[in-house]
Amino acid sequence: MHFPLSHGTNQIIVPSYPQFPHVTRNEWAKHSGKLRNGAFSLRILKFISEFSYRNGGVLLLVSFVDPGYDKLCLAWVKENDMDDITDVMKSLAERLETKQALKKLLESRLQGCPPGSLQVSTEKGYPRYYQIHEGKRKYIGRQDTVLAKELAGKAYHQRLLQETEEEIRLIRRFMKHFDPRTGIRVYEDLHALRKRLVDPLLLPDDLFIRNWLTRSREMALARPNSFELRNGFQTMNGEIVRSKSEKILADFFLHLGIPYQYECPLTLSDGVAYPDFKLLNVRTRKTFYWEHFGMMDDPEYANEALQKIDRYERDGFFIGDQLIVTTETSRSPIHTMHIERLTQKYLL
CA 168 from centroid of its chain's CA atoms: 23
**With respect to CATH, is domain 205-346 assigned 1.10.287?**
no
Residue 295: partners with Cβ closer than 8 Å, 6 or more residues away = 301, 302, 329, 330
Exposure pattern of 152-188 as b/e (b: 16+ CB <10 Å)? eebeebeeebeebeeebeebeeeeeeeeeeebbeebe
The pLDDT value recorded for residue 240 is: 95
Q: Which of 98, 115, 105, 99 is nearest to 155 (CA)?
A: 115
Rounded distance, CA 20 to CA 66, Å? 18
Exposure pattern of 50-82 as b/e (b: 16+ CB <10 Å)? bbbeeeeeebebbbbeeeebebbbbbbbbbbbb
The pLDDT value recorded for residue 142 is: 86
Q: Say if CB 343 and CB 253 are below 8 A apart.
A: yes
Instruction: Give helix 67-110 / helix 25-37 axis angle, nearest 10°.
Output: 70
List helix spans (H) across the chain: 25-37, 67-110, 145-177, 182-188, 192-195, 205-222, 244-256, 299-314, 336-346
Q: Which of 224, 221, 253 is nearest to 236 (CA)?
A: 253
pLDDT digits (tens, 9 = 90+) for 81-136: 566 677 778 888 999 999 999 999 999 999 999 999 999 999 888 999 999 999 99
Higher pLDDT, residue 41 or 159: 159
Q: Say if CB 80 and CB 1 are below 8 A apart.
A: yes
- Answering whether pTM is above 0.95, one says no
The pLDDT value recorded for residue 73 is: 53
Residue 72 pLDDT exceeds 70: no
Residue 138 pLDDT exceeds 60: yes
pLDDT digits (tens, 9 = 90+) for 270-316: 999 999 999 999 988 899 999 999 999 999 999 999 999 999 999 99
Residue 42 pLDDT exceeds 80: no
Residue 48: partners with Cβ closer than 8 Å, 6 or more residues away = 61, 62, 63, 73, 74, 77, 201
pLDDT digits (tens, 9 = 90+) for 217-253: 999 999 999 888 888 999 999 999 999 999 999 999 9
Which of the given ranges, 23-37, 43-57, 313-327, has the highest pLDDT on average?
313-327
For range 318-346, the mean pLDDT: 93
Q: Which of 55, 16, 57 is nearest to 35 (CA)?
A: 16
Domain ranges of the chain: 90-161, 205-346
The pLDDT value recorded for residue 212 is: 92
Q: What is the mean pLDDT of the chain?
A: 80
